[in-house]
Structures are given as C-alpha cells and as structure tokens.
Amino acid sequence: MQQVTVDLGERSYPIQVGAGILDGNPELCRLAQGRTVAIVTDTTVDRLFGTRLADTLLPIAHRLIRIALAPGETTKSWESLNHIFDQLLSHQFDRNSLIVALGGGVVGDLAGFASATYQRGVDFVQIPTTLLAQVDSSVGGKTAINHARGKNMIGAFHQPRLVIADTSTLVSLPRRELAAGLAEVVKHGAIADPAYLERVSAAMPRLLAHDPDELAAAVLDSIRIKAAVVARDEREAGARALLNFGHTFGHAIEAGAGYGSWLHGEAVAAGMVMATDLSVRLGHIAEVDLARMKSIIGEAGLPLQGPAWPVARYLSYMSIDKKAVRGVPRFVVLEALGRARTQEVDPALVALAVSANTVAAAAG
Amino acid sequence: MQQVTVDLGERSYPIQVGAGILDGNPELCRLAQGRTVAIVTDTTVDRLFGTRLADTLLPIAHRLIRIALAPGETTKSWESLNHIFDQLLSHQFDRNSLIVALGGGVVGDLAGFASATYQRGVDFVQIPTTLLAQVDSSVGGKTAINHARGKNMIGAFHQPRLVIADTSTLVSLPRRELAAGLAEVVKHGAIADPAYLERVSAAMPRLLAHDPDELAAAVLDSIRIKAAVVARDEREAGARALLNFGHTFGHAIEAGAGYGSWLHGEAVAAGMVMATDLSVRLGHIAEVDLARMKSIIGEAGLPLQGPAWPVARYLSYMSIDKKAVRGVPRFVVLEALGRARTQEVDPALVALAVSANTVAAAAG
C-alpha cells in the first residue's frame, strides 16, 4: 500500500493506493468507529463490493445504512440528492455522521455534495471503484450535481477525510470505462509531466489489459500530480484550472449529447485533441505535438473527434462553462507537451479548433 | 456609519451599521463594479427597497437581474433554490458573479446557500432588512434551506463579502417582526453580556417604538457579540453553539407548528424560557434568574410558552436537531444571566422544562 497526502492544512487527508486494501482498512475503521455511517453507492457497485464494505463497517459503526442508487450520470440530480437526505434524516443521522462514497465519479460527486450540505457539512470518505474516479474525481474535494443547463453547475468544495483507491476493484471494470479513465491519466501527463506522458504511452497495452502493477503505478503517479496541484490551489483560483485541460470542449460534448451517451473521459479525450489543436493555432506548440497527442489518445482507444455538430452548437454549450469570465471563455492550452497555461482565446480560433476535429470534418 | 469586522482570516468581512447607508454604498459599489449581479429578494421587500438598490447597482454592474420570490418561510425550499439557479444559468452567470441578498432571514439563508453552491461558490452580499436578520442571520455565514423533516437541515457555511445593516429599513417593519428580532437581541445578552441584557430591558419601550438610535445601538452591540463568537468558532465546533440558546426548543416549535405560523424569534423566545427553566433544574441558576428572563422576554411582547402539545411531540422534533450527538440531545444552558455553556441533558429533565412552559401547563 502506498500513500499520498493532500496537503491542505487542517483539511489535509491521505489517499491510499494498492490492491486489496479495502477489506478491514484500518484508517477507515478508525474513522467509522462508533459513528452512524451511510454507504452511498450505485446498484452495480453495490452488488460487486457493497457487502465487502459493509462487512468491514458493521462491527465498527454505531449504525450502518446502505443507499444504492441507479447507475449512470442521470443519478447526479436533485432527486437523488433529496433521496439521500430523506434516508439520512429518517435514520436520524446527525452532524457527527460519516458518509462513505463507494463507486465511480457519479457516486463520489453526488455523495460528496450530500456530505458538503447535509446539516452544513459532515465527514466523508471516498472509495473510488473506477479508474476515472481513482485518478481524478475522488481527489481534490470537488463535489457537484448536474443541472439541465450544465454539468456540475451546482456543487461545493468539500474535502474527504480519506480516499481509498483499491486497484483490485478495477479488475471488473469494462474496457470502455478503463479507457475513459486513461483520458485523465493522459491529461495529467500532458499538463504536468512529459516523461510520465511517455511512460503511460509505453504502458498502454498493459494498462488496457488491466495489468494490476501498471494500473497501480499509473493511479499513484496521477494522484501525485493532481494532489500537488490541488494543494497549491484548493478552490481553483489559478493553477488548479489546468486540470480542466480538454474539459471546456469535453463538457460541451457531454452536455450537447445528453449526459451519459459519451463517457466523461471520452468527451475529455476529444476535447484534449481540440485543446491541443487550439494550442497549435495559438503558436504555442507544433503540429508534431498535436500528432503525438492524437497518437497517445488513439492508443488508449479513445475518440479523437467530437460529434458532427455545427460549430455554433459547441460554442453555445461552452459559453456557460464555469471557466468563462463574463462570457469570454478561457481555455487551458499547452505551452509544450507536459506544460499548460490558461488564457482567453478569440472565439474564431476556438471555432477552427472545433471544426477541424469533428466527425463531419474528418468525413469532408 | 459604524463598522464591525468579522475576523476570519482571508474570509474576513465588514458589517456596516447605520441609518440610510444603503443608497450609493461605496463598498457595495466597489464589489459590484463590472460584474454580473443578481439581487435576490422577496416581493414585499422588492416593493419597498428593490428599486433603490437597483438604482445603486445599475450604473455599476456589468449586468443586473432581480429575482423576487414569495415572502415567507416556505420559500426556503429546493424549489426556490432551483428557481434561482435557473435564472442565473439562463442569464449566463459565471463564477465571478455577485449575489446580493436583500431581505430577511429567509432571503439571506436561501440566497446565501445559492451563493455557496452555484458553480461551487460565488461571492455574496447580505443586506438584511429585518431586525432578526440584522442582529443574527446575516452575520456568520450560515446558509440553509429547510427540509420537510427539519429546519435548516441542508446548507453550508459560506461567508458574505459584506453585510450592510441599514437601520432605516426597519421603520416599516411590523411590530410583531420587530419583537421577533428582539428575541435574538435578548439572547445575545443572556449568553454573553449581563450589562447589555439590562440595557436592552431598559430600552425596550423605545426599541418597540422603532426609535432609530436605540435600534442602531442594539444592532451594533448584538453584531459585536455575534461576530466575536463566530470569529472564535466559524464552523460551530464549540463556542458558536452557544448562539443556539433557546433554539433546540425553538426549532421543535417551528417544525411542529409548520414553518411560518410561529416566527423564528417567537419560537426562540419560548425556547429560551424552556432553556432557562432547564438551567434552573440543573442547578446552574436560581428561580429569580428565570423570572428575570421571563420578565425581559415579556417586555418585548414575546411568547413565554410553547404550544399545548404533548411533551413527546416536542422531544420527537428535538431528536433530529443538528446539535444532537448520536440521538442524545445537547442543550445550551445558562450558568448565569450573561454566561452560557452546552451539555448533554437527561431527557426527563428536558421533558419537565417543556411541560412547565407550554400553554396547556399554564392553563392547568
């Protein structure tokens, strides 16, 4: 078992990474000791790991309830949030209760936001069971639900007390979801560490084959990069925005397609191609860098192109992106493979970067 | 104009107190300069002060929208919150937007929670227009909405950037609401400052007559007490809980009666009598202290007794109070008039303190 600490003063917390570290986890047992505990998960993950986790917590907790929601992005809604609140209140959960989020990004974001707002904030633990959640969403305290007009529009910064990334839970992960998680792994390399980007590329076949050692190494390295960025900028006033590389485009794809039809990582993959293309147009990097990014994203089996929509459709979904400042969208762009920055960009350039990387453009 | 600073490090903010300080307020204009701004208010307050505030903000803001909700406690709901989010999103409000809460506690709590969670948090300004909001709810960053199972059950700590307590807005306040605000003024004296408690008692006739000097002095002293407590304990881990004196009982009255039929301050008044009675039963203070508290609360024209319910009804509403630790309720009790503490209390004593101070008991 390896451990990374997210250094945030009194809100610091450990992220534990390793295979099989969930069962009887001592740090989890210490946190749950004598408290009312709610496991929040989805029905798929509940079938796989719910009983294992409950077996660990039952002898320890004062009282334990399990809340299993429908799987999928549509669960990140007001309705699910209220269902959680109803359960917590009907079981008389107080401020000293503990919420344990067991699942992927949807469960983590939703249960995290419930923890942030139930009685103005209770402790929570993240147990991410997808690669995407292990390398990205479970780290850094971003919690949210979706709104019809935009993804993650309602939320809070609320740091967990502990993250347990048990890589043995990834064995059952479908290849499509594994690949979607690799999009964020590639992103971490692209914005922060060129050597890591190349290591990921070299390891790609073994990663896609669920090789446990490669997965553990990639999860650990990605978490280290993300934890360092979050420690510098908890509330995304500056450096943290770099983690949104590919996300302004990606969110537009997800929102425009209807949440759930594109996996988040797939949308981010196509979004990274657009953002890299934009970086070329801005003169920051060369065509060869764009080709290299496309090659690595392609090795992961991820899409290189967005849906065949008019550019205006992309732009309209981008205009309400959270990173926009008074309607002028800011973008994370690459200064080199392995180094990123944010800047405002002329919408005309954005339009070119989009249209060059949609299915329609490729067909033309 | 007088100013009190709530000292919370990088989240510190000024509270300005005075008559007529709203129009053209320089600090408000500085904050609103060039930003998208939403005024959140209720239709009653909007008619009284909405245009005055808009006149100040219109020349300054990049864009201004006004959101006027129905007045009353039932507005502190999911539905109202979503209405605010819909408005903000449809007007493309970004993270740099500013929300200005203009109104009483309901508007402040609701708009504050919207600010805490819209795009994971935007700046907001509190402009409280009731005495209750000026001396209590607008100070300290507690934001919330209600849930069918309990008041303020869903919320966040989110500090405003500025509070403007313009005592000229209190001139139109109905006497019943003025009295309800005085309940929190009395509370501040009871838990923290015996001399202030006696000053308030002496000034009571002039306070109830809307005397502007007396109101400004009471608002300022109350805010000083509350700001000092909040600065010591922002997230209610300890000292801040003392501000809940009378509130465990009071919340039970409000919830049991249905939100809105008792004003918050009225419920807190009857709750303070119960909590003071409990303090006598615990041997902390004498019967004469209870009589003094009843006398002062009576001078304000506030109720001394809770509704004629069975004690069990009170206790059941208290068991899910946020201050409960694993089902055993904690209470704020007086060690003397002017000094408070929290402790767990035998439910049998709580039952006696309730039954001695309900309408039925008085009739018997």
Which DSSP string corresponds to A272-286? HHHHHHHHHHTTSS-
- For residues A87 and A89, give the distance between their C-alpha atoms in angstroms, rounded to a whole number: 6
Which residues in chain B are closer than 8 Å to A319, comparing Cβ atoms? 92
- For residues A271 and A244, give the distance between their C-alpha atoms in angstroms, rounded to a whole number: 10
Span A48-69, mean pLDDT? 97
The range of the structural domain enclosing residue A164 comes to 2-170
Tell me what the pLDDT averaged over chain A comes to. 92
| Together in a domain, A164 and A181 | no
Beta strands A13-18; A2-6: pairing state = antiparallel
Burial (CB count <10 Å: 0-12, 13-18, 19+), residue B200: buried
Statement: residue A259 has pLDDT above 80: no
Length reported for chain B = 364
pLDDT number for residue B346:
86
A90 touches chain B (CB under 8 A): yes
Total structural domains within chain A: 2
Which residues in chain B are closer than 8 Å to A116, comparing Cβ atoms? 156
| Residue B364 banded pLDDT, cuts 50, 70, 90 | very low
Which of B117, B155, B319 is closest, CB to CB, to A92?
A: B319
User: Cβ of B26: how many Cβ atoms within 10 Å?
Assistant: 9
Beta bridge partners of A15: A4, A163
Which residues in chain B are closer than 8 Å to A62, comparing Cβ atoms? 326
| Together in a domain, B93 and B237 | no
Q: Which of A63, A99, A117, A233 to mutate to test the interface with B (most CBs of B within 10 A)?
A: A117
A83 touches chain B (CB under 8 A): no
Q: Where a domain ends, among A150, A170, A190?
A: A170
Q: Residue A132: which CATH number?
A: 3.40.50.1970
- Distance (Å) from the alpha carbon of B157 to chain A's nearest alpha carbon: 6
The one catalytic residue among B120, B149, B287, B326? B120
pTM of the predicted protein model: 0.89
**Which residues in chain B belong to E strands, given as ranges?**
2-6, 13-18, 36-42, 63-69, 98-103, 123-128, 142-147, 150-157, 162-166, 330-336, 339-344
| Together in a domain, B69 and B98 | yes
Which of A78, A120, A150 is closest, CB to CB, to B144?
A: A120
- Of residues A364 and B271, the one with the higher pLDDT is B271
Percent of chain B with pLDDT over 90: 78
| Six-digit token string for A174 | 């479908």
Question: Residue for token digits 């990014």?
Answer: A293
pLDDT number for residue B347:
85
Which of A36, A149, A156 is closest, CB to CB, to B121?
A: A156
| Together in a domain, A158 and A180 | no
Tell me what the pLDDT averaged over chain B comes to. 92
| Together in a domain, A149 and A183 | no
Among A178-187, A269-278, B138-147, B254-263, name the one with the lowest average pLDDT: B254-263
| Together in a domain, B53 and B66 | yes
B14-62 pLDDT, tens digit per residue, is 999 999 999 999 999 999 999 999 999 999 999 999 999 999 999 999 9
Which residues in chain B are closer than 8 Å to A95, comparing Cβ atoms? 322-323, 325
Q: Is B120 a catalytic residue?
A: yes
Task: Tell me whether residues A121 and B150 touch, CB distance under 8 A.
Answer: no
The one-character DSSP state at A260 is T
A237 touches chain B (CB under 8 A): no
Phi/psi for B282 (5° steps) reads: -80, -5
Phi/psi for A89 (5° steps) reads: -70, -40
Burial (CB count <10 Å: 0-12, 13-18, 19+), residue B245: buried
Q: Where a domain ends, among B107, B140, B170?
A: B170
- Distance (Å) from the alpha carbon of B285 to chain A's nearest alpha carbon: 30
| Residue A327 banded pLDDT, cuts 50, 70, 90 | low
Q: Residue A287: which CATH number?
A: 1.20.1090.10
Q: Are the C-beta atoms of A197 and A189 separated by less than 8 Å?
A: yes
pLDDT number for residue A325:
54
Task: Tell me whether residues B153 and A118 touch, CB distance under 8 A.
Answer: yes
| Together in a domain, B148 and B179 | no
- For residues B291 and B311, give the distance between their C-alpha atoms in angstroms, rounded to a whole number: 22
Task: Tell me whether residues A119 and B324 touch, CB distance under 8 A.
Answer: no
| Together in a domain, A123 and A98 | yes
Helix, strand, or coil (residue A183):
helix
Question: Residue for token digits 């759930």?
Answer: A260
The one catalytic residue among B73, B177, B184, B234? B184
Q: Is B244 a catalytic residue?
A: yes
Which residues in chain B are closer than 8 Å to A157, comparing Cβ atoms? 120-121
- Distance (Å) from the alpha carbon of B208 to chain A's nearest alpha carbon: 34
The one catalytic residue among A151, A224, A240, A281? A240
- For residues A65 and A161, give the distance between their C-alpha atoms in angstroms, rounded to a whole number: 19
| Together in a domain, B220 and B113 | no
| Together in a domain, A212 and A76 | no
- For residues A313 and A195, give the distance between their C-alpha atoms in angstroms, rounded to a whole number: 36
- Distance (Å) from the alpha carbon of A80 to chain B's nearest alpha carbon: 13
B176-210 pLDDT, tens digit per residue, is 999 999 999 999 999 999 999 999 999 999 999 99
Length reported for chain A = 364
- Distance (Å) from the alpha carbon of B202 to chain A's nearest alpha carbon: 37
Among residues B105, B197, B84, B216, the alpha carbon closest in space to that of B152 is found at B105
Q: Are the C-beta atoms of A143 and A105 separated by less than 8 Å?
A: no
| Together in a domain, B241 and B113 | no
End-to-end Cα, chain B, rounded Å: 51
Q: Where a domain ends, among A116, A144, A170?
A: A170
Half-sphere exposure of B87 (CA within 13 A, CB side): 22
| Together in a domain, B207 and B293 | yes
Helix, strand, or coil (residue A163):
strand
Task: Tell me whether residues B86 and A117 touch, CB distance under 8 A.
Answer: no
